[in-house]
């Protein structure tokens, strides 16, 4: 008992409480994630607690149980504020990581067959290189210039499409294949064993400029966000095909969110050259090209983008402790052979990924997959905005900091969080999907070879534009499909 009656110890306990209180309020103010009225209220409460602690800790009676009890409460309160300060700091760190991308990277590889005598870059002098000359010409020219400077005596054979170059590569018509790694998925469409049959002996990394945001006050003005879910695992900063393409219209005043799905195979002119291609291929030329082409489709300026890939998705769902999503029909996923029941399904990360990628089980293929992607996004939004997020808060922060890339600023994201905390908004999530007919058409990124595409109905595009216009104008939108997550 004497230990706790020691005046120096009581003073230390009280000072720790004061310091941790100041630290908590200071970090919360700097990170700016809480509404101002929350900070004022917290400051008042902490000041009153400090006054009460001081009065009871330094109670005049030497062996007062009040003093002992208050010292224990003070230490517990200090620990709580330290933990709170840590998680507020981690939030700020996570948001900074999401918004800190200054450029995209593009890898240009020299690839040889696995049994080639060429073992490394020192053996490339004098080799013949094949490359596709009809697409992504600027980056290919940059790569060739670098190779000429670094390696020297190399000959080149230009090809018009991937099918021809793959055939000749395997037949030994040239020694090595110069490939923009963003296009590896297209190569594997023609030769599924390509990655197993080959190895990289030399690689150049090119940097591409960041995508500027068209910023607005996200707490009072409607805005558009392009969500790009790339069909790759690994590094988010690499350009690749956009497997999931969704435009999200958000109106913070009407508390409505509109999800508009654009089928990955939508046949539309690329913004950069007017050549027709699948929309998914726009991602091969960088996120800016995807945004520009989508702006052409919807006739609206897009404010921000959010990019994630399959690795990102798995990390986020894992961090959330799984996700509960509604399915209108029962089916078995092609990937993983998971049983999905009609109604609500609680899925782990791998099951959730199989759910959003599934199309073979449905008569309308990609269109059904797009609806399930909307259901999944709706379910994730609702879980993140629910009190259950507190249980997995730390792991979610860890996941999103490394798994999501966006050009929204830190202050804009924090403003949205402040809005949610201050108003506890229950978002009305509406959905719409651009639809069309399947066809076989020549695609620019495939070197003019025909591929399966979706030719969108002009009436469907117009309806999407009308819904977006209504959201942006502050009107209440009710789509025919409504909220698919129910």
pLDDT on residue 185: 84
Q: Residue 108 in contact with residue 200, Cβ under 8 Å?
A: no
Assess whether pLDDT exceeds 90 at residue 70.
Answer: no
State the DSSP string of 329-398. S-EE-TTTT-EE-SEEEEE-HHHHHHHHH--TTSTTTHHHHHHHHHHHHHHHHHHHTSGGGGGGHHHHHH
Share of the chain above pLDDT 90, in %: 46
pLDDT on residue 269: 97
In this prediction, residue 62 has a pLDDT band, given cuts at 50, 70 and 90, of low
In this prediction, residue 232 has a pLDDT band, given cuts at 50, 70 and 90, of low
Assess whether pLDDT exceeds 80 at residue 6.
Answer: no
Question: What is the C-alpha separation between 107 and 75, in angstroms, rounded?
Answer: 53
Question: What is the C-alpha separation between 310 and 448, in angstroms, rounded?
Answer: 29
Most confident segment among 104-113, 127-136, 268-277, 361-370: 268-277
pLDDT on residue 174: 94
Determine which of 84-88, 93-97, 283-287, 463-467 has the lowest per-residue pLDDT on average.
93-97
- Torsion 375-376-382-386 (CA) sign: positive
Question: What is the C-alpha separation between 250 and 255, in angstroms, rounded?
Answer: 8
11: CB partners within 8 A, 6+ apart: none
Assess whether pLDDT exceeds 50 at residue 182.
Answer: yes
pLDDT on residue 212: 86
- Tokens linked to 211: 């995508």
- Tokens linked to 74: 């003070």
pLDDT on residue 296: 96
In this prediction, residue 21 has a pLDDT band, given cuts at 50, 70 and 90, of very high
pLDDT on residue 104: 74
Question: What is the C-alpha separation between 217 and 253, in angstroms, rounded?
Answer: 12
Q: Residue 125 in contact with residue 429, Cβ under 8 Å?
A: no
Share of the chain above pLDDT 70, in %: 90
pLDDT on residue 103: 65
- Tokens linked to 363: 């008569």
In this prediction, residue 233 has a pLDDT band, given cuts at 50, 70 and 90, of low
pLDDT on residue 4: 47
Question: What is the C-alpha separation between 146 and 150, in angstroms, rounded?
Answer: 6
pLDDT (tens digit per residue) in 467-478: 999 999 999 999
In this prediction, residue 357 has a pLDDT band, given cuts at 50, 70 and 90, of confident
The count of other CB atoms within 10 Å of the CB of residue 38 is 14
Q: Residue 389 in contact with residue 421, Cβ under 8 Å?
A: no
Q: Residue 63 in contact with residue 5, Cβ under 8 Å?
A: yes
- Torsion 58-64-66-71 (CA) sign: positive
pLDDT (tens digit per residue) in 113-137: 999 999 888 889 889 999 998 887 8
Angle at 266 between CA 258 and CA 270, to 5 degrees: 105
pLDDT on residue 1: 46
In this prediction, residue 172 has a pLDDT band, given cuts at 50, 70 and 90, of very high
Phi, psi of 436, deg, nearest 5: -175, -170
Question: What is the C-alpha separation between 269 and 274, in angstroms, rounded?
Answer: 5
Distance between first and last Cα of the chain: 60
pLDDT on residue 64: 63
């Amino acid at each position: 008992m004497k230990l706790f009656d020691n005046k120096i110890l009581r003073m230390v306990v009280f000072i720790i409480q004061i310091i941790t209180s100041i630290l908590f309020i200071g970090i919360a103010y700097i990170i700016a994630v809480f509404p101002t009225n929350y900070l004022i209220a917290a400051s008042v409460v902490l000041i009153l607690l400090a006054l009460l602690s001081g009065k009871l800790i330094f109670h005049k009676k030497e062996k007062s149980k009040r003093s002992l009890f208050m010292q224990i409460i003070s230490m517990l309160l200090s620990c709580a504020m330290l933990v709170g300060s840590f998680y507020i700091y981690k939030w700020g760190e996570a948001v900074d990581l999401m918004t800190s991308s200054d450029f995209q990277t593009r890898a240009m590889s020299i690839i040889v067959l696995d049994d080639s005598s060429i073992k490394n870059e020192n053996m490339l002098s004098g080799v013949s290189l094949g490359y596709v000359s009809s697409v992504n010409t600027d980056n290919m020219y940059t790569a060739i210039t670098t190779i000429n400077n670094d390696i020297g005596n190399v000959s080149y054979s230009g090809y018009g499409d991937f099918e021809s170059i793959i055939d000749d590569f395997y037949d030994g018509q040239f020694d090595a294949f110069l490939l923009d790694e963003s296009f590896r998925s297209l190569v594997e469409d023609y030769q599924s064993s390509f990655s197993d049959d080959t190895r990289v002996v030399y690689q150049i990394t090119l940097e591409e400029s960041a995508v500027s945001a068209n910023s607005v006050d996200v707490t009072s003005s409607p805005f558009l966000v392009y969500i790009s879910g790339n069909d790759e695992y690994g590094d988010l900063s690499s350009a690749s095909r956009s497997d999931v393409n969704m435009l999200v219209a958000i109106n913070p005043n009407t508390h409505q969110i509109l999800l508009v799905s654009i089928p990955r195979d939508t046949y539309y002119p690329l913004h950069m050259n007017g050549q027709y291609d699948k929309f998914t291929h726009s991602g091969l030329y960088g996120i800016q090209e995807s945004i520009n082409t989508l702006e052409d489709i919807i006739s609206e300026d897009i404010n921000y983008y959010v990019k994630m890939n399959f690795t990102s998705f798995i990390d986020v769902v894992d961090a959330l402790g799984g996700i509960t999503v509604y399915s209108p029909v029962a089916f078995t996923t092609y990937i993983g052979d998971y049983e999905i029941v009609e109604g609500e399904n609680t899925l782990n990360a791998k099951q959730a990924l199989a759910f959003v990628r599934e199309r073979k089980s449905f008569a309308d293929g990609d269109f059904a997959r797009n609806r399930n992607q909307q259901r999944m996004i709706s379910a994730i939004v609702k879980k993140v905005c629910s009190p259950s997020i507190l249980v997995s808060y730390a792991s979610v922060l860890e996941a999103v900091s490394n798994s999501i890339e966006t050009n929204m600023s830190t202050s804009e994201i924090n403003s949205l969080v402040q809005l949610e905390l201050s108003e506890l908004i229950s978002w009305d999530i509406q959905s719409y999907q651009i639809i069309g007919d399947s066809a076989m058409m020549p695609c620019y990124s495939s070197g003019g070879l025909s591929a399966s595409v979706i030719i969108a109905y002009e009436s469907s595009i117009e309806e999407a534009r009308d819904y977006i216009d209504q959201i942006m104008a502050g009107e209440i939108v009710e789509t025919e499909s409504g909220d698919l997550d129910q």
